[in-house]
Structure 1
C-alpha cells in the first residue's frame, strides 16, 4: 500500500495524516490530502441531498400510509402489554395505554370511578419511579383546603328534591362544614323572590261528609281555607319565560298547548296547569298547582271554588306570547268531567260527555250528535223550564242538570285515556276472573264428594267442611223422608189433621236443607284458579290495591300490556286446573280442561288486541296519519272480538270506540300529552310535603307552605340544579 493512502480516522471521524519526518514528503501529502478532503465533502453533500430528496418524495407520496403503519405497529404492541418502550437517539420513550373517556367522573357509576382510579395509580407508579407515596402526598397538598359552598339555588334544589322541611335543614347543617348549606334567611328570601307573592288564601264555606249529630243528611257545611294563585296570567307567563331561557319551549304549529284540570286525592282537591309544549310535560316538576282545598270534590265545593280562577283560565285561551298563540285544554277523570260540565250521572241514559248517544246507541256502536257548549246551554234551559227535576232530565235535557263551570268547549276536553286504559283492562280482567271462579265452583262441587285427606290450605279446608255439611244434610233429609213415609203408613182418619201438619213441617224442613245445600258455594275469588291469577300478577310486581276494589294503576296496566300477561295467566290457569283435577272423576276433569281451552281461546285475542291499542295511544309523541289508521284498525278489531261474546259496552269503552280516533286525527299527538296522566302524581308529592308541616297550627298556613314549596320545585332554574340519580348498570360506560 502506498504511503499517501495510509490514512486513519480519529475518534471524531476525521482523517489523520501519517507521521513522516521528511519535509518534501509532507508538502506532497498536504496537497493530496486537501484534494481528497474536497472530494469526500462533495460526495457527502451529494449523499445528503439524495437522502433528503428521497425523504421528500416519500412524504409527498405516502404520508398517511407511513402514519397508519406506525399506528398499527404501536397498537399491536400495546395489545400485548399496556406499556412499551421506543428507542431514540437519547433516552428511550415509554408509551402507555390511557382509556379515551367520554364522560366526566361526576356522571359515571362508582364502579367506573374505581376503574379510573386504578389507571391513575398505574400511571403514578410509572412516573414516580418507586416514589408513589411522595407523589400522592404532593397531589393531596394541591387539593383545596375547604370544599366550595353551595349557592342559594343549589341549597333550595337540595331541599325540594329531598322533600326536607326547615327543621330537617337545620339538623342537616350540623353535619356539614359551616357555610356549606346556605343560611335559612337566604333560602327563605330566595324562595319569596321566586314565588313572587303569587299565593293567596281565602275562607269559603265548603261541604264535608259528616255522620255526627251536627250533620244534616250526612253532610256538614263549614268555613275552610282555599289556597289559590292570584294572577294566573303572570304566573304562567313567568314560567314560559324561564323555560325559554333554557330553550325548553317546543311550539306545535305556532301554538303553545296548555292544559288545565283537576282531581281529588290524598284528602284534598287540586287544580293544575301544565305546559304541554316542553320536554316531559307530565313530569312532576312541570305541574303548576293553581288552586287547592282540603275537602272532597263534591259538585257544591267545585261550584264555590272554581269561579276563583275559571275566568282567568278562559282568558288565557287565544292570548299570544312571543308570537305564539296559547291553546287551552281541559282534563280530568271521567267522573270529574261529568260534574264540571253539568251531567246528572256518568251512568245515566245520556252518559257520554262528548256526544248525545244513549246507552242503547252505545251498545249498538251508533254515534249521535256531538255535544258542545251551545247545545248543552240549550239543554240546560230546557231543564230549567221543565221544573229542574233531576230524575226527569233524561227525558227533557239529555241528562244536563247544571251549567258548565268552565268555558272550555267540549272539543278541547281531553279524552281521559289513562282511566280508559284502567277501566277497560280491569273489565277484561274481571271477566276472566269470573270465568275462573265458575271453574272453581265446579271444582268445589265435584270435590265435595271426594275431599282430600289432608287439608293443607283454605280451599281444601272449605271443601272438607262443606263435604261434612253435605253429608250431614243428606242424612237428615233421608231421616225426615223416612219419618214422612212412616207417618203416611200409620196415619188413621182420626189422626188425619195432626199427621198432615207433621208431614207439612217435615217437608218444609227438607226444602230448607236442600236450599242450604244449593247455597253452599265458594266465595268469589277464593278458589285455587282465581287465586293463581293473583300470584301471576305478584310475580310480575303488579299488586292490586285491595282498598280500591282491587283496581290497577297506570303502571300496572302498561306493564301487563307489554309483558303479554295473558299468556302467563293462562299457563298458570291450566297448571292449577291440572293439579286440582287429580281427585275428581275423569269425565269431569276432561270437561273442565275443554272449558279452560275455550276460556283461553276467548280471552287471549281480547287481551292481545287491547294491548296493541293501549300502547299506541298512551304516549306524548306526535302521530302520523298512517299511525292513526293503524290505531283505527286495531280498535275496530278489538271491538269485533269483544262484541262476539255479547258483553256490555261501558262509557269508557264507548269513548275508546267512537271518540279516540277523531281526537287523534284533529291534534296528531298521543292522548297522553293532553290527558290526566300528569295530574295523578301530584297527590303523593303533596302528601310527602304535608309531613314536614304537621306542626303548623293553621290549616291555611300548612297549605300555603306546601304550595310554596312545590312552586319552588317547578321553577326551571331551580329544577335545573337538581342532581339526577346515577343509573345503576353493569355494562361498560366508556
Structure 2
C-alpha cells in the first residue's frame, strides 16, 4: 500500500494521505483518533516541571493536572479500587452516578459522573426499566480486575448509596424470606416489608452504606415537630385564658389584638363574643329546663298522691311535659355544641400561635431553609444554627407574662423546661452528626466516641419523650451506623449519599444551556453529554486557576 502511494503521489505520500483524509467527515476522523487512542494528551513529569518554570505555574496547579489515585493512608486495601454507585431523585429527574473513592476529594463535582438519567418518578417500575441494563455490568464489575499501566492489578469494590427509600430497593434479605417462608404469597407481603421483587443490583449487603445525610435530616425534622407540638400546647393554654383576661376589664379587645404576640389569636378573640352569646342562650335554656323538670317532678308526685279521675288526660299532660323538656335539652345541647365548634374552628392552628409562629422567622434569621413540601423537611445541614432556636421560646413567653398579669405564671417554667429539653436533644444529636457525617478516616477511639454519643442521645430521648416513637432513621442511627463505620473505617460522608446530592444543582445549571432544544429526549441527551465532557478524564487537563492567597488582616 505504501508503494502504491509512492507511485501515485510521485514521491509525496504525505500529500496523498492528506487528500484521502479530506474525504472523511470531521466526526469520522475524530472517531478514528479515538480508536487509535491518539486523542489523549499525557503530561510527563518533566513537562510539568517545565510548565512550572516556563509558564509560572505553582505546585498546586501542577498537582491538579495529574490524575492520581490514593489509598487514604492504608484505610482502603492496597489492591482495591472503591467505587460508590448511587441514585437520587431531584430537580424533576432521577439520576444515577458513580464516584471513584480512591481520590483526594471523592465527593467533588469533577469526580461525580452521572451515567443514567430520566425525567420521571423513582418508582420501582421506572428504576427497573432504566437501570436493568446496568445490573449485569455492576455484577460483573465486582468480579473483574483492573490493570494499570505499570502492570499492577486491582479488584473493584462497589458501595451502593442513596436515600433510605432507594436503598430499600437494593436489599435482598426480606425478599429471600418472602420466597422461602412466605412461599411468595402476596397476602403475607407485609410480614416481609413488601419485598416481593428481587434486588436490582447484586451487591453484598454489608456494602450497602447507611444513608447518613437522610438520617440527620429525618431526625432533625422529628425533633423539630415534637418541639413544635409541645409549644402548640402552650399556645392553646394561652388561648384558653384570653376570656379571663378580657373579663377582668383591664385590657380591651382592641389592645389585646394590637399586641405583637397575642394578636395571633385574632380569629379566636373574634369568635369569643359570638360563642359567648350562644353560651348565654344555653344558660337561659338551662334555667328554664331546671324549672320545667321541677314542675314535672311535682306533677308526678301529685298524680301519685292524689290520682286524677281522668288518667288518660293526666298521662297526656305528663307526656307533653316530658316532650317539652326533651326539646329544651336538644336545643341547649345544640347551642353548646355550636359555641364549642366556633371556638374550635377559630382556635389557633399549629405554627400560628404566639410561640410556634416565631419558629420559622427565627429559622430564616439563622439561614435554615425548610421545604414547602415533604412535611416541611429541612434543606442542608444546620446543626449549630438550629440549637439557637430554643432561645426564642423562653423570651416570647416571658415577654407575654410581663404584659398580662392575669395569665398563669406556670407557663413560664413550662416554656423554660421545654426549651431546655429540646436544646439538650439538639446538642446531643449534633454531637452524633458531627462524628459520623464527615468524609475523614476514623480509628477505634473515634468510633467508640461515636457509639457513646449515640447512646447518650437515645437514652435522653427515651427519658424525656417517653411516649415518642422511634422511627426507622433513629433505629438505623442506634443500631447500624457504628457497625458500618467500624467495618469501613470512614465517616458516612465518604461512602454515603452526600456527594451525590449536588448533581441536581449541577444539572439545573447545565440544563439552562440546553433549554432551547424542543425534543425532551434530545435535550436530556445533550445535557448528559455536556456533563460527561466536564468530568471525563479525556477532556480535562486545562491549566487550573491558581488558588488566591489569603490576605493578612491589617491591624
> Under TM normalisation by the shorter chain, which class is it?
0.7 to 0.9
Match of 2:186 among 383, 388, 402: 388
Does the CA-based 8 Å contact 1:693-1:705 persist in structure 2? yes
Does the CA-based 8 Å contact 1:448-1:463 persist in structure 2? no
Match of 1:650 among 463, 471, 475: 471
The runs of 5 or more residues in structure 2 that have no matched partner are 1-25, 36-41, 43-62, 246-252, 297-316
Residue correspondence of structure 1 range 507-586 to structure 2 within 5 A: 507-516=332-341, 519=344, 520-554=346-380, 557=381, 560-563=382-385, 565-566=386-387, 568-585=388-405
Residue correspondence of structure 1 range 301-450 to structure 2 within 5 A: 301-321=126-146, 322=148, 323-341=153-171, 373=172, 375-376=173-174, 378-382=176-180, 385-389=183-187, 392-395=188-191, 397=192, 399-450=194-245
Secondary structure of 2:376's partner?
A: coil
1:631 corresponds to 2:456: no
User: CA separation of 1:509/1:562 partners in 2, compared to 1, >3 Å: closer, same or farther?
Assistant: closer
Does the CA-based 8 Å contact 1:487-1:499 persist in structure 2? no
Residue 612 of structure 1 corresponds to which residue in structure 2? 431
Does the CA-based 8 Å contact 1:195-1:708 persist in structure 2? no
Residue 96 of structure 2 corresponds to which residue in structure 1? 271
Secondary structure of 2:480's partner?
A: helix
Structure 2 CA distance, aligned partners of 1:608 and 1:190?
62
Does the CA-based 8 Å contact 1:259-1:674 persist in structure 2? yes
Residue correspondence of structure 1 range 285-296 to structure 2 within 5 A: 285-296=110-121
Structure 1 CA distance, aligned partners of 2:278 and 2:174?
66
Secondary structure of 2:378's partner?
A: coil
User: CA separation of 1:377/1:463 partners in 2, compared to 1, >3 Å: closer, same or farther?
Assistant: closer
Residue 502 of structure 1 corresponds to which residue in structure 2? 327
Does the CA-based 8 Å contact 1:452-1:464 persist in structure 2? no
State the aligned residue count. Answer: 460
1:482 corresponds to 2:284: yes
Compute the displacement of 1:339 (Å): 2.8
Compute the displacement of 1:585 (Å): 3.7
TM-score for both structures, normalised by structure 2: 0.75
Tell me the alpha carbon deviations over residues 468-496 of structure 1, each in whole angstroms, 9 at most, x when there is no partner. Answer: 42233223322333245346647783752
Secondary structure of 1:289's partner?
A: strand
Structure 1 CA distance, aligned partners of 2:198 and 2:255?
67
Residue 419 of structure 2 corresponds to which residue in structure 1? 600
Secondary structure of 2:451's partner?
A: helix
User: CA separation of 1:445/1:484 partners in 2, compared to 1, >3 Å: closer, same or farther?
Assistant: closer
Secondary structure of 1:455's partner?
A: helix
Residue correspondence of structure 1 range 118-157 to structure 2 within 5 A: none
Secondary structure of 1:250's partner?
A: coil
Does the CA-based 8 Å contact 2:88-2:166 persist in structure 1? yes
Compute the displacement of 1:522 (Å): 1.1
Residue 467 of structure 1 corresponds to which residue in structure 2? 269
Structure 2 CA distance, aligned partners of 1:709 and 1:195?
21
Pair member with larger Rg: 1
User: CA separation of 1:579/1:723 partners in 2, compared to 1, >3 Å: closer, same or farther?
Assistant: farther
Secondary structure of 1:403's partner?
A: coil
Compute the displacement of 1:569 (Å): 2.0
Structure 1 CA distance, aligned partners of 2:417 and 2:327?
50
Does the CA-based 8 Å contact 1:285-1:719 persist in structure 2? no
Does the CA-based 8 Å contact 2:94-2:120 persist in structure 1? yes
Structure 2 CA distance, aligned partners of 1:458 and 1:683?
41
Secondary structure of 2:116's partner?
A: strand
Name which of structure 1's ranges 714-723 and 605-614 shifts more when overlaid on structure 2. Answer: 714-723
User: CA separation of 1:641/1:339 partners in 2, compared to 1, >3 Å: closer, same or farther?
Assistant: same
Tell me the alpha carbon deviations over residues 555-593 of structure 1, each in whole angstroms, 9 at most, x when there is no partner. Answer: xx2xx3245x42x223221111112223444561x2011
User: CA separation of 1:480/1:572 partners in 2, compared to 1, >3 Å: closer, same or farther?
Assistant: closer
User: CA separation of 1:499/1:292 partners in 2, compared to 1, >3 Å: closer, same or farther?
Assistant: same
The runs of 5 or more residues in structure 1 that have no matched partner are 1-187, 198-237, 342-372
Structure 2 CA distance, aligned partners of 1:512 and 1:248?
76
User: CA separation of 1:657/1:651 partners in 2, compared to 1, >3 Å: closer, same or farther?
Assistant: same
Secondary structure of 2:244's partner?
A: coil
Secondary structure of 1:526's partner?
A: coil
Secondary structure of 1:310's partner?
A: helix
User: CA separation of 1:725/1:455 partners in 2, compared to 1, >3 Å: closer, same or farther?
Assistant: farther
TM-score for both structures, normalised by structure 1: 0.58
Residue 70 of structure 2 corresponds to which residue in structure 1? 250
Does the CA-based 8 Å contact 2:184-2:196 persist in structure 1? no
Structure 1 CA distance, aligned partners of 2:377 and 2:182?
38
Structure 1 CA distance, aligned partners of 2:272 and 2:263?
14
Residue 674 of structure 1 corresponds to which residue in structure 2? 495
Tell me the alpha carbon deviations over residues 85-125 of structure 1, each in whole angstroms, 9 at most, x when there is no partner. Answer: xxxxxxxxxxxxxxxxxxxxxxxxxxxxxxxxxxxxxxxxx
Structure 1 CA distance, aligned partners of 2:29 and 2:515?
20
Structure 2 CA distance, aligned partners of 1:595 and 1:412?
46
Structure 2 CA distance, aligned partners of 1:723 and 1:587?
66
Structure 1 CA distance, aligned partners of 2:28 and 2:394?
63
Secondary structure of 1:597's partner?
A: helix
Larger RCO, structure (CA 8 Å, separation 6 or more): 2
Compute the displacement of 1:387 (Å): 2.9
Secondary structure of 1:580's partner?
A: helix
RMSD: 3.2
Does the CA-based 8 Å contact 2:88-2:96 persist in structure 1? yes
Compute the displacement of 1:325 (Å): 2.0
Does the CA-based 8 Å contact 1:686-1:706 persist in structure 2? yes
Residue correspondence of structure 1 range 210-225 to structure 2 within 5 A: none
User: CA separation of 1:477/1:445 partners in 2, compared to 1, >3 Å: closer, same or farther?
Assistant: closer
Does the CA-based 8 Å contact 1:383-1:401 persist in structure 2? no
Residue 38 of structure 2 corresponds to which residue in structure 1? none
1:713 corresponds to 2:534: yes
Structure 2 CA distance, aligned partners of 1:196 and 1:263?
32
